[in-house]
Structure 1
């Protein structure tokens, strides 16, 4: 399969319809992204309307991965943080259509989000992912450090509790300046 094209998403009816489809499908398949199944298209649309409005206010960036005219994945870079945390950003709402999983879509989205965070002067990224069925392997392969686990953090979309794993990664100049010193010196 050809590599996906990654772009910043803006609020258009076509983009929002594809985001709604991606979100409702992710939740229906058990993806723990903050919603319960069944997720109505109206609720998903309201979420994306708010998210894209926040992006228009420069509070976040919503990225999309495209295969032709089809949105196959998305991730959000949260930027609106308290004044004492403007050095960091958060990765949120990582989703990939099932038939595209394992094809490098999420990794490409993550790399682009990291690059945008560096461009915005951020030096630390944080994220969380469900203990069961989450993307821990993706994040660990991408260099994120596991900070810990919170048990029973959220309900799974089809019921029952799951924990969440917390991760962090230094990026940009901080990534190289924070490297541990050689113990042999």
Structure 2
């Protein structure tokens, strides 16, 4: 496989449509990313329009993983935290196309998000993932600590409840104070 490249995504119609395709595919295949199956394409498009508009305002960063000209994955770094939490950021919506999983794209996206978080003077990253079919093993490999599990947190895309696992990681200059 050619080398995966990572870039910040903009609010172009082409990017929005590619992200929407990715979201619909992930949900159809059981990805627990806040949506139910079947996910109508207009709903996916509206989600990404809203998310990319927030990115344009600096409230988040939406990153894309590319194989040449094909968008194969994305992750969002949420930067707009409450006033008493300016030191943290949250990882959201890590998604990889089914045919590209287990090839390093998710890890590359996570490393890029962490680098951007440090550039924004963040010292703590948090995230959550579904108990079933989630990316727990990836997060542990990347140095995240499991804080706990909340049972029956959300509906799975095809129905039924799943728990969520909460993770955190100290990043940047304050690593020595762990």
The 5 A counterparts of 1:152-163 are 152-163=152-163
Segments of 4+ moved more than 4 angstroms: none
Number of the residue aligned with 2:24: 24
Distance 2:86 2:101 in 1: 32
The structure with the larger Rg is 1
Compute the displacement of 1:152 (Å). 0.1
Name stretches of at least 5 consecutive residues in structure 2 with no aligned partner: none
The alpha-carbon deviation at position 143 of structure 1 amounts to 0.2
Q: How far did 1:67 drift?
A: 0.7
Q: Aligned with 1:84: secondary structure?
A: coil
Question: TM-score scaled by structure 1?
Answer: 0.95
- Counterpart CA distance in 2 for 1:174 and 1:91 is 19
- Aligned partners of 2:2 and 2:68 also within 8 Å: no
Aligned to 1:183: none
Matched residues in 1 for 2:177 and 2:141: separation?
Answer: 19
Aligned residue-pair number: 178
Aligned to 2:112: 112
SS at match of 1:32: coil
> Match of 2:102?
102
Residues 43-122 of structure 1 mapped to structure 2, 5 A cutoff: 43-122=43-122
Give the structure-2-normalised TM-score: 0.99
Q: Distance in 1 between matches of 2:7 and 2:83?
A: 28
Shift of residue 2, structure 1, vs aligned partner: 1.8
Deviation at 1:178, TM superposition (A): 2.1
Structure 1 unaligned residues grouped into runs of 5+ = 180-185
